[in-house]
Amino acid sequence: MIELTGRLICADAAEAERVRQALPEHVALTRAEPGCLSFEVEPCGPLVWRVAERFTDSAAFEAHQKRMRESEWGRTTSGIKRDYEIREIG
């Protein structure tokens, strides 16, 4: 299993608004991906979101990363700071 935890950190209110606008579709698309076990993105401050993801294996996680980079979410949030840790479990 692959687990990603961390934060999405916006520099200002404009970045935070981009996240708020694009997030619902990103969450729905990610949760529908094969191999997605859980996907949570929750605000933990006005400019910061806590991110927690679990995928069945590295292939599912890599497929998610590829889809994400090529999606509207990837384009909209490409310059926003990410502070993530990725671990293989079990």
Cα distances (angstroms) measured from residue 33 to each of 59, 63, 69, 88: 12, 9, 14, 19
**Averaged over 72-76, what is the pLDDT?**
96
Q: Which residue has the higher pLDDT, 58 or 90?
A: 58
What confidence tier does 15 reach under pLDDT thresholds 50, 70, 90? very high
pLDDT at 62: 97
Cβ neighbors of 88 (< 8 A, separation 6 or more) are 1, 2, 3, 58
Considering the entire predicted model, what is its pTM?
Answer: 0.92
pLDDT at 47: 98
